[in-house]
């Protein structure tokens, strides 16, 4: 390395190599990173007399947020939900749950116990999702810890080490050892003289040594006890596992997961509601009671000068409801099939959104076989369409558990297109590479192909086509759809946020719409 | 209304595997078409599922049977057809009869124009089509050719592309599709397809 490295460059390199965790550690010392924003607290004005009727289309978490906030502010809310349950993509499967996949309905017949559930949609709550956490607190939703990365879970890739499964901790330790040695070689004191002082360099080299558990004097890597022992360690001297050469590990693209799995939004501490993610939804629906109408698909939306008319089916009859305001979280690709009088450019924006294809599946395990292998949660990674196996952090040491047998967020069509039998066989055949006895110890499969789930048909909204990403054109489409029609109809949901597939995003879109409406109401009240 | 799962499996035909749970059959039936085909079967561009309202009962029945048997919607390049095919795979004869009756209760509503082609040029191309589909695109039951007028134009385009490419109509048992295939092949290119569909758009309904 012939040129000296600036602080910024050095940090970019650090984050690219070691993950953002290292960056945050170092960055906050140099105070270069922004602070996260505070949780939004809404203070909504009471409705103007005779102008307080609100209809909410879809009982997704964004719709429920709107209904709850406006109810508190004194509005008269009705939520129309097509399905016979609330929550949309917040969906917990347990004994008796119907999985309403069109063309492949399933009924879950797992043991009926509190810990025997599966979060088929949203599953993780990051510490930074303040608005969601705020509602958990307000609605009395009990939370427990959830962990993304387990060092004792496995990684398996047919291209790596003859397809042998390797513990995540062995992978990360050896990869870090290699990278740290590389760094140490590049960053000699001489090169770091400028712009770092000698004592700063010492700190950095110390960090590099710690990062990879390098030999103190030579700054070289020869393996580390962090990878775990083959035997002993307590009453016998520990026998360290042999170091795995980096050139063997680099055959798999999965190894980077050991850095990213525990960073950013999936970094500790993550949380989950005790008993299933739908406890959040139940928190809302307990408060809203019969304001939520189930089995009530919206079949028409007409925006008028001073309100919105909505038609819906319920109990075999067609109904209509006139409201002053309408908030709509029906997925865009379904909304285009419902008669409406939206402005053409509003519809064009809706039509431009493509739908995602996330897929998850789960088994009931006859016993918690992973605990016999020192695994108590976290994720095993595999280079196969199932991608991941999740071990439940809940119900530790109980007789049985529910194990996630596939999670393919971006490429779920592979499974979606299979029959139920083919999906199950694929999960078994691929899972066997991580747990050789898998086939014998799991039973009662459920599969959730979000692309085919009734009233949803996708996860999550995809703005922009292909890999072109977020262009100016997409920005224009997004901005149009975010604006209300006549100040009366708001389109919401995580589809109306820049960061899809998080409950926090859906809530943020609801808050945006509520604040916009509130401003309009306040200015109307001031004029009146 | 609660039924045992067994009774339900027989009734709705749509349930896979698992045992003795109870579920509410009044909600879970085979009337799930509107999630994709839009409210009252008006068609949904977002899902690329066409209008069903106003469809001829004989044509609707045949397509459901063809999808069920895998005669249509199984070619792996037929992206939209393979979305529909599994939706029909588990329907019983009774259920198909019930669905045809249900779809029949929906009133036809006009579909929006989304294709920009040269209708004038399309008119000349349509001359061939008229012998089977009728001069006003009203269809001909005797020949087994469905109405085209008033169908979603984006859907008609997909079908012509798929017939032309052999993604639809090539199954040995698809005798009706076999008649249509060569007709689509006679449309030279994308522009010709857009033109003829633009002309069909002018036929009204
Ligand atoms: C596999 C997967 C993993 C995820 N992981 C996480 C995670 O770990 N953490 C996290 O925070 N988030 C996660 N998410 C994202 C989270 O679930 C969503 O962002 C959030 O639930 C979206 O809420 P929404 O308000 O946009 O509405 P949606 O959930 O999209 O709800 C829309 C509602 O509209 C209803 N509807 C549809 N048609 C009609 C109609 N015609 N009439 C009336 N109602 C209708 C639907 O039934 C549904 O209830 C995940 C999602 C998936 C699928």
pLDDT grade for A49, boundaries at 50, 70 and 90: very high
Mean pLDDT of A90-98: 97
Q: Is the pLDDT of residue B19 over 80?
A: no
From chain A, pick out residues whose CB is under 8 angstroms from the CB of B37.
337
pLDDT single digits (tens) A215-262: 988 999 999 999 999 999 899 999 999 999 999 999 999 999 998 999
pLDDT for the residue A468: 63
Mean pLDDT of A497-524: 95
For residue A152, the CA-to-ligand 1 centroid distance in Å is 32
Q: Which residues 6+ apart lie within 8 Å of B92 measured at CB?
A: B13
pLDDT for the residue A191: 64
Structure tokens at A256: 């980077």
Share of chain A residues as helix, strand and coil, in percent rounded to the nearest 5: 35, 20, 40
Nearest-neighbour CA in chain B from A507: distance (Å) = 24
Q: Which residues 6+ apart lie within 8 Å of A379 measured at CB?
A: A148, A149, A150, A153, A261, A388, A389, A390, A391
pLDDT single digits (tens) B122-160: 999 999 999 999 999 999 999 999 999 999 999 999 999
pLDDT for the residue B5: 37
From chain A, pick out residues whose CB is under 8 angstroms from the CB of B43.
337
Distances (CA, A) of A264 to A29, A129, A268, A410, A502: 18, 12, 9, 19, 13
pLDDT for the residue B17: 40
Structure tokens at B59: 């044509």
pLDDT single digits (tens) B154-177: 999 999 999 999 999 999 999 999
- Pocket lining: A147 vs ligand 1, CB cutoff 6 Å: no
| Chain A interface includes B109 (CB < 8 A) | yes
Nearest-neighbour CA in chain A from B59: distance (Å) = 21
Which of ligand 1's atoms lies nearest the C-alpha of A298?
A: 42
pLDDT single digits (tens) A259-288: 899 998 999 999 999 999 999 999 999 999
CATH 3.50.50.60 positions along chain A are: 53-84+294-353+469-527
Ligand 1 atom 52: the closest Cα is on which residue? Answer: A121
In our burial notation (b when 16+ CB lie closer than 10 A, e otherwise), range A72-95 reads: ebebebbbbbbbbbbbbbbbbbbe
Mean pLDDT of B18-36: 69
The residue of chain A nearest to residue B82, with distances taken between CA atoms, is A417
pLDDT single digits (tens) A76-89: 999 999 999 999 99
CATH 3.90.660.10 positions along chain A are: 92-149+268-275+356-452
For residue A136, the CA-to-ligand 1 centroid distance in Å is 17
Q: What are phi and psi of A389, to 5 degrees?
A: -125, 130
pLDDT single digits (tens) A67-79: 999 999 999 999 9
- Pocket lining: A493 vs ligand 1, CB cutoff 6 Å: yes
pLDDT for the residue A17: 45
pLDDT for the residue B20: 36
**Residue A452 falls in which region: left (phi positive, over 0), alpha (psi -120 to 50) or beta:** alpha
Provide the CATH number for the domain formed by A7-32+153-260 in this structure: 1.20.1440.240
Q: Is the pLDDT of residue B78 over 80?
A: yes
Which of ligand 1's atoms lies nearest the C-alpha of A409?
A: 1
pLDDT grade for B8, boundaries at 50, 70 and 90: very low
Task: Give the closest of B12, B39, B88 to A337, CB-based.
Answer: B39
The residue of chain A nearest to residue B79, with distances taken between CA atoms, is A417
For residue A124, the CA-to-ligand 1 centroid distance in Å is 14
Task: Give the closest of A84, A300, A452 to B39, CB-based.
Answer: A300
| Chain A interface includes B166 (CB < 8 A) | no
Structure tokens at A278: 């739908």
ipTM over 0.90: no
pLDDT for the residue B24: 56
Q: What are phi and psi of A468, to 5 degrees?
A: -70, -20
Q: Is the pLDDT of residue A26 over 80?
A: no
Mean pLDDT of A468-475: 84
Level-2 CATH architecture, domain B2-103: Orthogonal Bundle (1.10)
- Pocket lining: A116 vs ligand 1, CB cutoff 6 Å: no
Q: Is the pLDDT of residue A331 over 50?
A: yes
* Binary contact (B16, A104; C-beta < 8 A): yes
pLDDT single digits (tens) A158-183: 999 999 999 999 999 999 999 999 99
- Pocket lining: A333 vs ligand 1, CB cutoff 6 Å: no
Structure tokens at B113: 């124009």
pLDDT for the residue B205: 81
Nearest-neighbour CA in chain A from B38: distance (Å) = 4
* Binary contact (B47, A334; C-beta < 8 A): yes
Mean pLDDT of A508-523: 97
- Pocket lining: A240 vs ligand 1, CB cutoff 6 Å: no
Superfamily of domain B119-201: Cytochrome c-like domain (1.10.760.10)
The alpha carbon of residue A443 and the mean position of all alpha carbons in its chain are separated, in whole angstroms, by: 26
pLDDT for the residue A460: 82
Mean pLDDT of B13-36: 63
pLDDT for the residue A470: 83
Level-2 CATH architecture, domain A92-149+268-275+356-452: Alpha-Beta Complex (3.90)
- Pocket lining: A497 vs ligand 1, CB cutoff 6 Å: no
pLDDT for the residue A196: 81
Q: How far apart are CA A386 and CA A362, in angstroms?
A: 11
Q: Is the pLDDT of residue B15 over 70?
A: no
Mean pLDDT of A478-491: 97
For residue A433, the CA-to-ligand 1 centroid distance in Å is 32
Q: Is the pLDDT of residue A149 over 70?
A: yes
Q: What is the four-CA torsion angle of A181, A182, A184, A188, rounded to 10 degrees?
A: 150
- Pocket lining: A82 vs ligand 1, CB cutoff 6 Å: yes
Q: What is the mean pLDDT of chain A?
A: 91
For chain B, domain boundaries:
2-103, 119-201
A140 vs A185, more confident: A140
pLDDT for the residue A40: 58
B52 vs A41, more confident: B52
- The topology (CATH level 3) of A53-84+294-353+469-527 is FAD/NAD(P)-binding domain (3.50.50)
pLDDT for the residue A119: 98
pLDDT for the residue A197: 81
Nearest-neighbour CA in chain A from B179: distance (Å) = 29
pLDDT for the residue B29: 84
For residue A122, the CA-to-ligand 1 centroid distance in Å is 8
């Amino acid at each position: 390395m012939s040129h000296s490295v600036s602080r910024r460059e050095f940090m970019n390199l650090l984050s690219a190599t070691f993950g953002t965790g290292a960056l945050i550690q170092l960055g906050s010392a140099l105070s270069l990173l922004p602070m996260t924003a505070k949780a939004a607290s809404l203070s909504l004005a009471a409705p103007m007399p005779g102008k307080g009727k609100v209809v909410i289309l879809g009982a997704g978490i964004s719709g429920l947020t709107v209904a709850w906030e406006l109810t508190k502010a004194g509005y008269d809310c009705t939520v129309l939900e097509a399905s016979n349950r609330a929550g949309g993509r917040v969906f917990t499967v347990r004994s008796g749950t119907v999985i309403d996949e069109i063309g492949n309905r399933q009924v879950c017949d797992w043991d009926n116990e509190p810990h025997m559930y599966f979060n088929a949609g949203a599953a993780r709550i990051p510490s930074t999702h303040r608005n969601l956490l705020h509602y958990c607190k307000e609605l009395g939703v009990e939370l427990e810890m959830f962990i993304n990365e387990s060092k004792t879970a496995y990684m398996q890739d047919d291209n790596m080490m003859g397809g042998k499964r390797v513990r995540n901790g062995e992978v990360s330790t050896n990869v870090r050892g290699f990278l740290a040695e590389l760094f140490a070689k590049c960053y000699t004191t001489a090169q770091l003289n400028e712009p770092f002082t000698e004592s700063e360099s010492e700190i950095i080299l110390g960090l590099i040594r710690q990062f990879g558990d390098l030999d103190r004097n030579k700054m070289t890597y020869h393996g580390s006890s962090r990878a775990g022992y083959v035997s002993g360690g307590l009453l016998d001297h520990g026998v360290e596992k042999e170091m795995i050469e980096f050139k063997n590990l680099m055959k798999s693209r999965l190894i980077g997961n050991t850095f990213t799995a525990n960073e950013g939004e999936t970094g500790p501490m993550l949380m989950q509601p005790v008993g299933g993610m739908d406890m959040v939804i139940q928190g809302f629906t307990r408060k809203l009671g019969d304001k939520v109408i189930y089995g009530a698909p919206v079949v028409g939306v007409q925006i008028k000068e001073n309100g919105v008319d909505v038609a819906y089916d319920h109990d075999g009859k067609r109904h209509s409801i006139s409201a002053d305001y309408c908030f709509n979280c029906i997925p865009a690709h379904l909304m285009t099939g419902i008669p409406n009088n939206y402005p053409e450019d509003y519809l064009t924006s809706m039509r431009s959104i493509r739908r995602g294809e996330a897929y998850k599946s789960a088994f009931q395990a006859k016993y918690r076989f992973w605990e016999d292998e020192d695994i108590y949660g976290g994720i095993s990674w595999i280079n196969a369409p199932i991608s991941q196996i999740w071990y439940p952090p809940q119900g530790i040491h109980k007789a049985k558990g529910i194990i996630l047998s596939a999670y393919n967020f971006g490429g779920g069509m592979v499974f979606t297109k299979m029959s139920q039998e083919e999906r199950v066989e694929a999960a078994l055949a691929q899972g066997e590479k991580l747990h050789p006895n898998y086939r014998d110890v799991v039973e009662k499969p459920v599969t959730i192909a979000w692309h085919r789930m009734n009233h949803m048909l996708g996860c999550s909204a995809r703005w922009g086509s292909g890999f072109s990403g977020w262009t100016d054109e997409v920005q224009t489409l997004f901005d149009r759809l975010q604006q209300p029609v006549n100040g009366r109809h708001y389109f919401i949901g995580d589809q109306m946020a820049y960061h899809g597939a998080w409950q926090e995003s859906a809530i943020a879109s609801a808050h945006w719409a509520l604040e916009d409406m509130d401003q309009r109401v306040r200015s109307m009240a001031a004029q009146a | 209304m609660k039924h045992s799962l067994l009774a339900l499996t027989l009734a709705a035909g749509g349930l896979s595997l698992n045992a003795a749970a109870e579920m509410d059959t009044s909600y879970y039936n085979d009337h799930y078409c509107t999630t994709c085909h839009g409210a009252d079967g008006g068609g949904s561009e977002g899902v690329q599922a066409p209008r069903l309202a106003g469809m001829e009962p004989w044509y609707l029945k045949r397509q459901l049977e063809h999808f069920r048997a895998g005669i249509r919607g199984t070619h792996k390049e037929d992206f939209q057809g393979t979305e529909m095919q599994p939706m029909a795979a588990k329907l019983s004869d009774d259920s198909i009869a019930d669905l045809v009756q249900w779809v029949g209760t929906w009133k036809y509503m006009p579909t929006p124009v989304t294709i920009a082609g040269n209708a004038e040029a399309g008119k000349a191309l349509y001359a061939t089509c008229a012998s089977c589909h009728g001069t006003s695109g009203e269809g001909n039951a005797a020949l087994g050719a469905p109405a085209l007028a008033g169908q979603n134009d984006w859907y008609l385009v997909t079908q012509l592309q798929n017939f032309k490419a052999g993604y639809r109509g090539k199954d040995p048992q698809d005798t009706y599709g076999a008649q249509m295939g060569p007709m689509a092949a006679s449309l030279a290119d994308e522009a010709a397809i857009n033109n003829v569909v633009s002309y069909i758009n002018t036929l009204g309904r």
